[in-house]
Structure 1
Amino acid sequence: MDLLRQFFRIFDLQVALIAALAVAATWGCIVFGIRSDLPSSLIAVAIVFPIVFSIGAAYQRREEALKSLAALRAGIASLYFAHRDWDGGGREDAERALGLGRRLYAALRAALMARPGERDASTLEVYSILSAYSRSNERLRERGLGATELSRISNFLWSMTTEFEKIRMIADYRTPGSLRAFSKIYLNVFPILYAPFYADIAEKGGAVFGYGVAIAYACVLVGLDNIQDRLENPFDGVGDDDVRFDPYHELEAAPPFGDTGSA
C-alpha cells in the first residue's frame, strides 16, 4: 500500500492539466488533419537524459545530507559521553552537555527547514551553541582533563562544525538551475507539441489509442518533473524521500549518570 501511495502522489493537478492539454491538442490535430510520425528518440535525448541526471544529482545530495546529519548526531552523543564519563565525569558537566545537544539538534532542524531568506537567525543559533560547546570543553580543562582527551573533544567539535557547513551548503545550493529550467519547460511542453504524433497513432490504431498515448506521455514526463521537484530540497518535508528530523531519543536511552550498566 505504501508503494501505491507514493506512486499516486507523483500525479497531481499539473499532470492532469498537461494531460488534458495534450488530449485537446490531439483532438485539434485529428480534426484539422495534422499528423506526423515524430521520432520518439527526441524525447529521450532532449528530456529524459537531462531529467535523469538531475534526479540522480538531487538523490546524491540527499545521501550526502544524511551522512552529515548522522555525523552530527554522533558528535552530539560523543560529547555527551565525554562530559559524563571522562576523568570521572560530573553530573553538572553531563547535564550541561545533554542540554546543549538537545538545543543544537533543535536549532539544526530549524536552520535546515527554514526558507533560504529566513535561515540567518537559526544559523547564528547553531553557531552560538557550538560556541557554548567550546566553552564547556574549556571547563573540562579546568577540572583537570588531560591534553589528549581535550584534543579528542576538540576534534569532535571541529567535525560537527564541518558537517554542519556541508549540510548547510546542501540546503542553500541546488542542482544546476539552467538544467532544471530546461528540463521543466520541455517536460511540460513536449506532451502538447507531440499532438501530431498522437494524431498519427489515432489514425493508424484508433482515436482511443491515440488519446491514451497522449495521456501516458503526459503522465510519464510530468511525473518525472514532479519526482525531481520533490528531491530537489531534501529538507522541505514535502516528498517521501526527504530527510526526516526524527526526535533524538538515543541520548535519553543512555545509562543515567553514575550507572555503568550491567557487567
Structure 2
Amino acid sequence: MEKYLVIINWRTFVALAITALTTHFTLEKNFQYNFDLTMISIAIIFPLVFTIRGAFKRREKAIEHLSKFKSGLITVDICLQSQTKIGEEDKKALKQIIENISRYLLEYLGPEPTPIETVRAEAKKISDYIKERSVSMKFNASLKIQGFMRDVLQSIENTAAIKEHRTPTSIRAYCLIFIYLYPIIYIPSIYFRLLEGGSKSDSWILYSLGLISSFILISLFNVQEQLENPFDQKGVDDVKLEMFDMNK
C-alpha cells in the first residue's frame, strides 16, 4: 500500500482544492470558452516528462558509480591483503580504512550526511600508503592498486556530483506553477465541450474529469520529486545504500 500512497502529499491536496474551487466557480457562473487543449501538453506534459527522465537517469548513474565504487574497494582490499611484504598490523589497519571509506560515503549520501571531505581524507590514506610502500611492493601490483583506487576516487566524486547537482530547479518550479494553473485553463474549456455534447446537467462529469486530471499531473510531479534525490531513503525507488556497504 505504501508504494501507492507515497505519491500523495500536501501538493496533491492543494492541486485538488484549486480544481474543486475552479469547477464550482465555472458551474456557478456558467464560465466557458473554447480552447485548444494541445497547448496543455506542450506547457506541462513535455517539461514534466523531461524532468522525470532526467531524475531517472541520475538514479541509474548513481547505481552504476556505486557498483564501481564497491567493486574497486573490494579489489584494492584483496590486492593489499595478498601482499606478502605488508605486515599483519598494516593489513588490519588498511582493511579498517577501506571499511571507513565505504561507511563514510554511504553516510554522506544518506539522510544524515557525513562531510564529503571525510570520505576524501580516508581514501587519500590508501593512496598515500601505496606511494610510500611502492618501493617494497611489486611494481605491477602497486600500479594496479593505484589504478583501482583511481576508479574508487572517480566513483566517489561522480556520486557526490549526482547528490549535489539536481535537475534544473527552474523547470521544476515552472511545472509546479502550471500544474496549479492547469484547472483554471482546463475546466472552463472542458465545460464548453461538455455543453456541446449535451451534458449540461451532469456536473459530476466536470468534477471527475478535473480532479482526475489534476491528480495525475501532481502525482507525476511528486514521483519526479522523490527521484530527485535517490539517496535520502524517503521514496520507494531510492537507491538501496546497504547493498554497497563493505561492512556487511
Of 146, 157, 178 in structure 2, the residue corresponding to residue 154 of structure 1 is 146
Q: Confirm whether residue 227 of structure 1 aligns to residue 216 of structure 2.
A: no
Paired with 2:20 and 2:194, the residues of 1 have a C-alpha distance of 11
1:74–1:108: structure 2 CA closer, same or farther, 3 Å change rule? same
Q: What's 2:70 paired with? A: 73
Of 231, 237, 244 in structure 1, the residue corresponding to residue 233 of structure 2 is 237
The answer to whether the 8 A contact 2:187-2:206 is kept is no
The alignment's TM-score, normalised by the length of structure 2, stands at: 0.88
The answer to whether the 8 A contact 1:19-1:191 is kept is no
Q: What's 1:257 paired with? A: none
Paired with 2:77 and 2:29, the residues of 1 have a C-alpha distance of 74
The answer to whether the 8 A contact 1:134-1:157 is kept is yes
Secondary structure of the corresponding residue to residue 194 of structure 1: helix
Q: CA deviation at 1:96?
A: 2.2
Of 132, 137, 154 in structure 1, the residue corresponding to residue 130 of structure 2 is 137
Q: Confirm whether residue 32 of structure 1 aligns to residue 29 of structure 2.
A: yes
Q: Confirm whether residue 94 of structure 1 aligns to residue 84 of structure 2.
A: no
Which structure 2 residue ranges, 5 or more long, are not aligned? none
Question: Which protein, 1 or 2, shows the higher relative CO under an 8 Å CA cutoff with sep ≥ 6?
Answer: 2
Of 168, 176, 184 in structure 1, the residue corresponding to residue 176 of structure 2 is 184
Identity in percent: 23
Paired with 2:245 and 2:182, the residues of 1 have a C-alpha distance of 49
1:27–1:202: structure 2 CA closer, same or farther, 3 Å change rule? farther
The answer to whether the 8 A contact 2:103-2:247 is kept is no
Q: CA deviation at 1:83?
A: 1.4
Paired with 1:65 and 1:135, the residues of 2 have a C-alpha distance of 27
The alignment's TM-score, normalised by the length of structure 1, stands at: 0.84
Q: CA deviation at 1:59?
A: 0.6
The answer to whether the 8 A contact 1:84-1:90 is kept is no
Paired with 1:151 and 1:94, the residues of 2 have a C-alpha distance of 18
Which structure 1 residue ranges, 5 or more long, are not aligned? 253-263
Q: CA deviation at 1:90?
A: 4.9
Secondary structure of the corresponding residue to residue 8 of structure 2: coil
1:78–1:86: structure 2 CA closer, same or farther, 3 Å change rule? same
The answer to whether the 8 A contact 1:202-1:211 is kept is no
Paired with 2:163 and 2:245, the residues of 1 have a C-alpha distance of 25
Aligned residue pairs: how many?
244
1:195–1:244: structure 2 CA closer, same or farther, 3 Å change rule? same
Paired with 2:86 and 2:124, the residues of 1 have a C-alpha distance of 21
